[in-house]
Structure 1
Amino acid sequence: MSAELHTPAGPVRYAVSGPSASGRADLVLIHGWCCERSAMATLREEYGGRHRILEIDLRGHGQSLDAQDDGSMGVGYRRPVAGGTVPEALSRVRIEDYADDVRTLCARSRLHRPVLIGHSMGALAVLAALAEKPQGAHAPTAGILLDPAPVVSEEGKQFWADAVEPLRRDVSGAWRRAFAARLFLPTDRASRVTLTEAMARTRPEVASGAAAAMATFDGEAALRAVDRPLLVVHGNTAERAIGAVAREARVDLTSGQTVGSGHFIHLEVPDQVMPMITRWMRIALPAQDSGDRDSAEASGSSRSR
């Protein structure tokens, strides 16, 4: 069942599941642009039996979308409320706003040594949250970036800057459907239709505001400011300069690369992604107990997908 965090942009809905006293780091799952928390389901399924999991629908996305279910779009689909305007805090959202929500929910949920896992735009929220060097009992301790949106790539940022106005007018979702098609390889099979339609049904003002947020986010400055371990797992996006910046800034960054997958690597090739995450957590987070090491080894040897 979802709970709510009230923000100037409207409610942010989230859910917490899994064991509450495992002694292992809790995990926070942060989806990407115009997606929703269900897009991170493979991670919850993989780790939910051993780690406490916080799942978030970012501002204006998924169950945090101001919408009504009138049944006209099928079971589980919501139609945005006709008329009206979205709050300025939503149409002019910043990546830092998403990060603020993440940190607030870590504290509210009393998470234990939380590790932030973000995909695409969600990876930018991870960087923004860690760049603030949060302190306290429930502060994030590490971050995982899954095929991140542009962090230092000026070409990538310009793409999103150019997309802001077309997205604002994309009432039919046609622009987003065409964009989504580019995120998949011809051989990709996992959730293609579901992900595409999730993107298309997000309110245009939300899609446009989030695009502007990605275009203006100073990802390089955030990356340089991070003082906690990071893992980046690349798919097929063009963002490749992260490693060089991290080395120059002496950021503790480990890099990985998947094979045979488009952008949604955690859905298409979980058999590659999950062992990388598990191994990295085992090595980069030495405070984790020996039970985590045992479960990591069991996970690596038992996956058959």
Structure 2
Amino acid sequence: MPASRNKKNLQVQRSDHTTIWYTVSGPAEGPTLVLIHGWACNRGDFDAVTDHLPANYRVLAIDLAEHGESRSTRDVWTMEEFARDVAAVLEAESVDTAVVAGHSLGGAVAVEVGRLLPDNVSHVVALDSLTYLSLFPAQSQEQTAAMVHMFREDFAAGVRGLVEGGSPAGFDSALKNSYFEKMVAVRQPAGLRSIEGLVHWDMDAALRETKQPITVFAVRAFATQEAIDRYGDRFDIVLVDLGSHHFPVEAPEGTAKLLASVTTE
């Protein structure tokens, strides 16, 4: 087992409507890695991952607004606004250069952080994100309406569908239930509004304006050839076999090795 890092829990205030909590560990002069959780999750998903990273890394794990400990009364729940949550932490920590990695929805946020801070973000990493063609690229008006309607009509069923869709055949039912229970309890209205923000996000437009290299670590079971053909020339897609869509929780050591491989390039 790795030695647990010395972690500090801090907060940064964004105007009068948003307080962002984050965890920082590692030496201030070390290479900086920023970790962004997925929708309806929290920065605790990266606790074990952080412990497996090289000791000289400076790691910032962030709770997006209304996730985990962070709180907000704002009305805007777009990927761009979540990126400003992350940017506020980087400013508070005086980060000059960082690799920004995000899981699921956090991958979309990481892209937006790269677009927002082109001089500070050296590499964008997406953990099982960006390659789901029914969720990330801009959808038609009809598709978007159907997704939003599903969550508005029966939020729990929508969450259950996401968990099931991100679980390989025969996957541990207890783990699936634990993910469901955590995600269905996301604070509202932010939970619903942020999933709406994701399905309205124009990923192709964001990618055109994101100049950093992007690496996607995609679960092999869910990565379609169509997605690889569509985006293989825009970002580096690496297929992994570390578990379900939530593999950072299930395989923290393997995830840490993936992140370190990108950070040390």
TM tier relative to shorter chain: 0.7 to 0.9
TM-score (norm 2): 0.80
Question: Contact (CA 8 Å) 1:188, 1:261: kept in 2 or not?
Answer: no
Matches within 5 A, 1:195-234: 195-234=179-218
Larger radius of gyration: 1
- 1:256 is aligned to 238
The 1:267–1:160 alpha-carbon spacing in structure 2 relative to 1, beyond 3 Å, is farther
Q: Which of 233, 258, 263 matches 1:276?
A: 258
Give 5+ residue unaligned stretches, structure 1.
Answer: 67-85, 284-305
Shift of 1:202: 0.8
User: RCO higher in 1 or 2 (8 Å CA, sep ≥ 6)?
Assistant: 2
Question: Contact (CA 8 Å) 1:256, 1:276: kept in 2 or not?
Answer: no
Higher strand share: 2
Q: Which of 227, 230, 234 matches 1:241?
A: 227
The 1:197–1:222 alpha-carbon spacing in structure 2 relative to 1, beyond 3 Å, is same
Shift of 1:123: 0.2
- 2:163 is aligned to 180
The 1:256–1:125 alpha-carbon spacing in structure 2 relative to 1, beyond 3 Å, is same
Matches within 5 A, 1:62-101: 62-65=68-71, 87-89=74-76, 93-101=77-85
Matches within 5 A, 1:15-26: 15-22=23-30, 25-26=31-32
The 1:160–1:204 alpha-carbon spacing in structure 2 relative to 1, beyond 3 Å, is farther
Shift of 1:45: 1.6
* Separation of aligned partners in 2, 1:161 and 1:150: 21
List per-residue Cα deviations over 1:132-180 (Å, max 9, x = no partner).
Answer: 3533xxx2221110011567x3566556642324434557x45424432
Question: Contact (CA 8 Å) 1:118, 1:146: kept in 2 or not?
Answer: yes
* Separation of aligned partners in 2, 1:190 and 1:110: 41
Q: Percent identity?
A: 24
Shift of 1:7: 4.7
**2:88 alignment partner AA:** T
Kindly tell me the number of residue pairs found equivalent between the two proteins: 250
**1:261 alignment partner AA:** G
- 2:4 is aligned to none
The secondary structure found in structure 2 opposite 1:195 is: helix
TM-score (norm 1): 0.71
Bigger drift between 161-170 and 103-112 goes to: 161-170
* Separation of aligned partners in 2, 1:246 and 1:119: 19
Question: Contact (CA 8 Å) 1:131, 1:225: kept in 2 or not?
Answer: yes
Question: Contact (CA 8 Å) 2:103, 2:128: kept in 1 or not?
Answer: yes
